[in-house]
């Protein structure tokens, strides 16, 4: 009937769908950006790690030169500060890479150097900045007494002092990364900056050798496994993103493409799983609505009963056609839940009227699965008994396909009719049944499909079959209900028959909520019947 015709999605649904598509695409782009940023930061971290290890490798080479030079000087076979000893110092300086001068010390005084030779007046040593666990002493950026105006880092061991080239680490910068080199004494928990940027990490953070974010800068600490130096590498987040911008852009593009695909999927392939999930939730929460369509006496136009019809608006605000959600519930095996919700709704909305008018009847659709379900009859009886409603007030409608299993249909219908329920076969003429078979089922009425109603007055073969159905139903004492009556000529044809025929359709009244149908019942006839 026209009341079951699908209504086009409203503009609100279109807007919601558009928002879902746009949201999905934006989400994919954001996800691509997020993944790109994570990958970029990981790439930046690897770059910083390589940089730190390259500085440590340079530092280890520097330390190797210091240790080997000091060892050679302390192992000198020549007398202390002799001409031969000073010549050895000069040879080592000439062969050295970072070495600029070697000095000899004894009893806390500097006695000779590779540049100045023997000093007429030995110079006193100053207090070192750091004493290493190995016993070597370190002075950092101290003024040279032998070369006025110059500063250098000095390492001492035994009777020898190694004076390094100024700014030995000055050419290690690899923009946009920064570095800081340090000397450490772990037992004393001491860390001293030696070159590069100011040290911004605590001693514990340097010793931890981990990656960390401080302010807007990523830091990474690495320490030598052989010597005392540690290095801290820094990179701002902005620079980390900028140097990896092509990588990030690639992931954003991938995310955008994924968003387009997802958006098209939402538009072109609505998820059946989503429909099923929403329908299950609607049934659990009793979110379906019930409307009632009058069934009238074709001659008097008096309402003799109504049919209860389920309606559902999904979570997106879209009206889902009954043939869609009913078929879905049947195929996936939860049609019994739908039947229960409709019966409960009918009892809740119309129970008071049925108690006051026990002769009035409401037709409720059930399915083949309900006939086969041993829980259906106890559920129905309990519901009606609890609400003090007579079983004769509830008629049950089955489609012809629901009676395909003859043995089951005959047995189940028999048990329900014994309780007082009348049975109607819906959409008669479209399925498996003949009138003789319906007589075996002991049904009470047939509802002739609207295809026959539309043929009335057309002179077609289908129209010619209608009088034969009327005659056979009269012979078998089966009530006839004509569905889909929408025009006055159809109503007049049905009213002109010489037998009692019931009719249903928009001509007599559209499906309406309980409150509206109760108003119509108060005057016994539909309000919109044509004069």
| pLDDT at 4 > cutoff 50 | no
Structure-model confidence comparison of residues 528 and 189, the more confident one: 189
Model pLDDT, residue 8: 44
State percent of the chain over pLDDT 90.
55
Q: Given pLDDT bands bounded at 50, 70 and 90, which one contains residue 100? A: confident
The answer, yes or no, to whether residue 166 has pLDDT greater than 80, is no
Residue 316: predicted pLDDT: 81
Cα angle for residues 166, 172, 175 (degrees, 5° grid): 135
pLDDT for the residue 2 = 36
Amino acid 432: pLDDT? 52
**CA–CA distance, 326 with 409 (Å, rounded to integer):** 20
- pLDDT tens digits along 104-135: 999 999 999 999 999 999 999 999 988 888 88
Asked whether the predicted pLDDT for residue 185 surpasses 70, the reply is yes
pTM above 0.85, yes or no: no
Pick from 183, 184, 185, 181: which is nearest to 195 by CA? 181
pLDDT tens across 474-491, in order? 888 899 999 999 999 999
Output the furthest CA–CA distance in the chain (Å, rounded). 147
- Catalogue the long-range contacts made by 382-391 (C-beta closer than 8 Å, 24 or more residues apart): 383/343, 383/344, 383/347, 384/347, 387/347, 387/351, 387/355, 388/351, 388/355, 389/347, 389/351, 389/354, 389/355, 390/354, 390/358, 390/420, 391/419, 391/420, 391/421
Three-state DSSP class for residue 22: helix
Average pLDDT of span 294-308: 94
Structure-derived torsion over alpha carbons of residues 172, 173, 174, 180, reported in degrees to the nearest 10: 100
Where does the pLDDT of residue 37 fall: very low under 50, low under 70, confident under 90, or very high at 90 and above?
Answer: confident
Render pLDDT for 418-460 as a digit per residue (tens, 0 to 9).
999 999 988 887 655 565 677 777 889 999 888 888 888 777 7
Domain extents for the chain? 10-269, 288-523
Render pLDDT for 492-517 as a digit per residue (tens, 0 to 9): 999 999 999 999 999 999 999 999 99
Q: Which residues pair with 99 in a beta bridge?
A: 164
pLDDT band at 6 (very low <50, low <70, confident <90, very high): very low
- Domain at 288-523, CATH class: alpha beta
Beta-carbon-side half-sphere exposure of residue 5 (alpha carbons within 13 Å):
9
Alpha carbon 438 to chain centroid distance?
Answer: 52
Half-sphere exposure of 56 (CA within 13 A, CB side): 21
How many whole angstroms separate alpha carbon 72 and alpha carbon 67?
9
SS3 163: strand
Cis link prior to 487 (omega < 30° from 0)? no
Find the range with the poorest average confidence among 43-47, 246-250, 389-393, 518-522: 246-250
pLDDT at 5 over 50: no
- Phi and psi dihedrals of 513, rounded to 5? -65, 165
CA-wise closest residue to 290 among 516, 502, 450: 516
Of the ranges 235-249, 261-275, 423-437, 444-458, which one carries the lowest mean pLDDT score? Answer: 261-275
Give pLDDT, residue 449: 87
- Whole-number mean pLDDT of the chain? 87
Query: What would the mean pLDDT of 48-58 be, rounded to a whole number?
Result: 93
d(CA 70, CA 92): 10
Q: Would you state the pLDDT for residue 124?
A: 92
Whether residue 64 has pLDDT greater than 70 = yes
The radius of gyration of the chain from alpha carbons, rounded to an integer in Å, stands at: 48
Of the listed ranges 145-154, 188-197, 355-364, the one predicted with least confidence: 145-154
For the stretch 357-397, pLDDT in tens is 999 999 999 998 998 899 999 999 999 999 999 999 999 99
Higher pLDDT, 395 or 250: 395
Predicted confidence at residue 431, as pLDDT, reads 59
């Amino acid at each position: 009937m026209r009341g079951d015709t699908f209504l086009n999605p409203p503009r609100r649904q279109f807007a919601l769908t558009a928002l879902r598509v746009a949201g999905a695409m934006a989400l994919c782009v954001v996800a691509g950006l997020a993944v790109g940023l994570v990958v970029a930061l990981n790439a930046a971290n690897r770059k910083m790690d390589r940089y730190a290890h390259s500085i440590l490798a340079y530092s280890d080479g520097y330390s190797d030169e210091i240790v080997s030079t000091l060892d050679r000087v302390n192992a000198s076979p020549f007398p202390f500060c002799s001409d031969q000893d000073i010549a050895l110092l000069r040879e080592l300086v000439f062969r050295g890479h970072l070495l600029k001068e070697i000095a000899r010390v004894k009893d806390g005084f500097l006695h000779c150097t590779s540049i100045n030779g023997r000093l007429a007046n030995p110079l006193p040593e100053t207090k070192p900045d750091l004493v290493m666990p190995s016993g070597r002493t370190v002075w950092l950026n101290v003024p040279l007494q032998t070369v006025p105006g110059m500063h250098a880092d000095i390492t001492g061991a035994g009777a020898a002092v190694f004076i390094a080239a100024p700014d030995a680490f000055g050419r290690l910068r690899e923009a946009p990364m920064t570095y800081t080199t340090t000397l450490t004494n772990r037992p004393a928990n001491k860390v001293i900056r030696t070159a590069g940027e100011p040290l911004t990490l605590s001693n514990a953070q340097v010793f931890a050798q981990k990656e960390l974010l401080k302010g807007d800068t990523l830091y990474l600490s690495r320490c030598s496994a052989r010597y005392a130096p540690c290095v801290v590498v820094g990179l701002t987040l902005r620079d980390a993103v900028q140097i990896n911008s092509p990588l990030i852009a690639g992931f954003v593009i991938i995310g955008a493409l994924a968003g387009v695909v997802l958006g098209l999927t939402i538009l072109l392939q609505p998820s059946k799983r989503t429909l099923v999930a929403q329908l299950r939730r609607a049934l659990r929460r009793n979110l379906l609505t019930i409307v009632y369509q009058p069934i009238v006496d074709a001659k008097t136009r008096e309402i003799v009963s109504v049919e209860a019809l389920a309606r559902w608006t999904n979570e997106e605000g879209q009206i889902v056609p009954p043939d869609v959600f009913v078929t879905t519930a049947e195929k996936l095996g939860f049609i019994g839940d739908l039947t229960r919700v409709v019966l409960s709704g009918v009892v809740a909305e119309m129970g008071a009227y049925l108690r006051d008018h026990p002769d009035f009847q409401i037709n409720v659709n059930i399915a083949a699965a309900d006939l086969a379900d041993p829980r259906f009859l106890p559920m129905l009886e309990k519901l009606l008994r609890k609400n003090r409603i007579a079983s004769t007030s509830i008629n049950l409608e089955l489609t012809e396909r629901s009676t395909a299993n003859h043995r089951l249909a005959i047995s189940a219908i028999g048990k329900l009719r014994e309780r007082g329920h009348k049975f109607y076969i819906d959409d008669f003429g479209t399925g498996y049944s003949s009138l003789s078979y319906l007589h075996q089922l002991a049904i009470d009425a047939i509802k002739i499909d609207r295809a026959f109603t539309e043929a009335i007055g057309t002179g077609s073969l289908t129209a010619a079959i209608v009088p034969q159905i009327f005659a056979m139903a009269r012979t078998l004492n089966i009530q006839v209900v004509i569905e889909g009556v929408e025009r006055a000529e159809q109503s007049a044809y049905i009213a002109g028959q010489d037998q009692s025929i019931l009719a249903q359709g928009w001509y007599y009244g559209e499906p309406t909520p309980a409150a509206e149908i109760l108003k119509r019942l108060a005057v016994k006839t539909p309000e919109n019947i044509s004069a």
